[in-house]
Amino acid sequence: MHSFQRRGKELFCEDKSLTSIAEEYGTPLYVYSHSTVTRHYQVFEEAFASIPHIICYAVKANPTGAILKLLAKMDSGADIVSGGELYRALRAGIEPSRIVYSGVGKTEKEMEDALQSDILMFNIESFTELAALDEVAGRMGKRARISLRINPDIDPGTHPYVATGLRTSKFGIPFEYALEGYDRAAKLPNIDIIGVDCHIGSQLTELSPFVDAVKKLIELITVLRQKDNDIQYLDIGGGLGIPYNTENPPSPAEFADAVKRHLAEANVTLILEPGRSIVGNAGILLTRVLYTKKGKDRRFVIVDAGMNDLLRPSLYDAYHEIAHVVDEERDIEVSDIVGPICESGDFLAKDRRLPRFDKGDLIAVMSAGAYGASMSSTYNSRPLAAEVLVNGQTARLIRKRGSCEDLIRGERVT
């Protein structure tokens, strides 16, 4: 059951009306459903229950502490890409033995902190990073467990900005250099090879790219084992899409069925890194209409949330459903939903046929649980929006609204 539903004319999150939430906490405001986050994680666990696996939630999708703590209580691991995400994951109670560290630009300090925390493994993205990690581990008297992130040059059929497994991508090591990379790693004194990693992109709506990647990686694992490499883990990343508009992505169960049949003889623990598919449809952005004005061929609806609160429409021309919180009989108009930021690219929706909006109306921008708050900024010196987690009839503030004092914290005036 979807956690954002209408009761009569009004939109609710679980058993709490969005109108009452906005009255208590103001706008702009991120609102998350506890039951949806829980259900989406459990669906992944159930789908892969028949094989050894670890679900490592992609912290970048939504790193808010209460969300991470909720996932930690369900024994989720974490896929991290920075020292800050490591700090957040550990603070939330995620076990270091269930943390994998991805990303092309790990600093030596970040490597030190991860080694000190004894995370499961580093997903290595270049030969120079591999050499740096070996040096850091040796200096610390530790051994670094690693996989190489292999770029299989598979087109995921998604937006170019979130396609990460193509030959032109900055991520990973080209497939044709994989054996050379593992040979180099095997000769390093402070490195333990334990896995193979791949992540081909985000918001995928077809299973064939996943299957093609898995098949290539299993072939690689076979060769690596023949060369006496002890490959224990296969990390296939995340990227399973969600419905924003008319997409019909496969379910986690369908994803599992497609992948598992190729893993029968692989004898590995599978690592999955879902992010968007757990939190994307578990959250919305609430915003209020400030003003409206008539353009030549459309109406501009000016709201109190902007591209600093939800960057995806401006960055990717991404679609988010726009809904009245209180649904009444209204004329249909062609509208642009725009924010207060001084940029022409500041919009949440463009050229949409929508029921008329008037000053004071509450708007729900749907499917904003992933890459909403995590990509938000204080551009134009606008304080960060608050975040609320709803569990049944209870709405709990999990990040307070930013203040002007927050904007200048750390600054020095000479």
Active site residues: 342
Q: Which of 312, 301, 290 is nearest to 369 (CA)?
A: 312
Annotated binding site: 239, 273-276, 312, 316, 343, 371
Annotated binding site for substrate: 276, 312, 316, 343, 371
Q: Which of 216, 263, 213, 210 is nearest to 241 (CA)?
A: 210
> Whole-angstrom Cα distance, residue 286 to residue 75?
30
State the SS3 of the chain.
CCCEEEECCEEEECCEEHHHHHHHHCCCEEEEEHHHHHHHHHHHHHHCCCCCEEEEEEHHHCCCHHHHHHHHHCCCEEEECCHHHHHHHHHCCCCHHHEEECCCCCCHHHHHHHHHHCCCEEEECCHHHHHHHHHHHHHHCCCEEEEEEEECCCCCCCCHHHECCCCCCCCCEEHHHHHHHHHHHHHCCCEEEEEEECCCECCECCCHHHHHHHHHHHHHHHHHHHCCCCCCEEECCCCECCCCCCCCCCCHHHHHHHHHCCCCCCCCEEEECCCHHHHHHHEEEEEEEEEEEECCCCEEEEECCCCCCCCHHHHHCCCCCEEECECCCCCEEEEEEECCCCCCCCEEEEEEEEECCCCCCEEEECCCCCCCHHHCCCHHHCCCCEEEEEECCEEEEEECCCCHHHHHCCCCCC
Q: Are 70 and 37 in contact (CB under 8 A)?
A: yes
282 HSE (CA, 13 A, CB side): 27
Annotated binding site for pyridoxal 5'-phosphate: 239, 273-276, 371
> Whole-angstrom Cα distance, residue 185 to residue 131?
8
